[in-house]
Amino acid sequence: MEVAAMRIAPRIELDAVAQRELAALARRGRVEARVQQRAKVVLLAAQGWQNKDIAVEVDLDRRQVALWRQRFLEGGVEALMHDAPRPGRTPSVTAEVESSIVDKTLHDKPIAATHWSTRTLAAQLGVGPTTIRRVWQRNGLKPHRQSSFKLSRDPRFEDKLLDVVGLYLNPPERALVLSCDEKSQIQALNRTQPGLPMKKGRAGTVTHDYKRHGTTTLFAALNTLDGTVITMCQPQHRHAEMLCGTTRAGPV
């Protein structure tokens, strides 16, 4: 007479660290209920409980109990925190179609238009506009957006660029780095008559005309070390005034 072999669940032995982590998960109020169940499954299994008894205790199917015992043996406590990846549906867009969409977007332009839209490219390739939009999102493509740039005409631009970049890459000892800018042609204006202050039920008043007192130039320098800003107004906009403003930060 043949007797079917009895399937015995693998034995689980916990060290002190795993015991503490599982006990905390099993009683923690902010943990997902399914994670608490899995932690209880492993704790009871480590105490020698059989799968059928564990299933009744934690209200799970016996096959699920066996699954999470095995998952713990393979991945430890971390394996109990997440579900196993499930196979998804077959992608509706093949790699070849996605490649052609990306290539067309990057290297071709539509007739009588500056860039592709989802509808024009969909009509060109015979796919839906939604497909075009999803492919663009996955690949970070935004044909409707442009960034402007300007090339310097300064013949010494490259030398100056190397000096600035080199200062950041290989700064000398006790270097003082200032980020400077200026705003020229600031009009100094003043009202022709003093205004009246605000009162209850009435706004403050100012005259409609004003006096001109010439223009000024604002120089500013940001100390990149401590974030302090040095400012100065000068009547002229020249190299000498720029140096006068920046030397207030220290020796250069």
Give me the average pLDDT of each 10-residue run along the chain (252 residues): 58 87 83 87 90 89 89 88 73 85 92 91 92 93 88 90 86 82 89 89 89 90 86 85 68 46
Query: What is the per-residue pLDDT for 156?
Result: 92
- Enter the pTM of the model: 0.36
DSSP-H helix ranges across the chain: 16-27, 33-46, 51-58, 62-75, 95-107, 118-125, 129-139, 157-169, 239-246
Query: What is the per-residue pLDDT for 3?
Result: 45
Query: What is the per-residue pLDDT for 135?
Result: 94
Query: What is the per-residue pLDDT for 249?
Result: 55
Query: What is the per-residue pLDDT for 7?
Result: 67
Query: What is the per-residue pLDDT for 168?
Result: 79
Query: What is the per-residue pLDDT for 129?
Result: 93
Strand ranges of the sheet holding 210-223, from the earlier edge strand across to the other edge: 178-191, 210-223, 229-234
CA atoms within 13 A on the CB side of 164: 9
Query: What is the per-residue pLDDT for 245?
Result: 64
Query: What is the per-residue pLDDT for 248?
Result: 64
Q: Which residue type, as a one-letter code, is found at position 198?
A: M
* Residue 175, token pair as written in the block: 């270097």
DSSP string, 188-215: EEEESSPPPPPBTTB-----S-EEEEEE
Contact predicate 118/132, CB 8 Å: yes
Query: What is the per-residue pLDDT for 252?
Result: 43
Query: What is the per-residue pLDDT for 79?
Result: 86
Query: What is the per-residue pLDDT for 2?
Result: 47
Query: What is the per-residue pLDDT for 29?
Result: 73
Query: What is the per-residue pLDDT for 246?
Result: 67
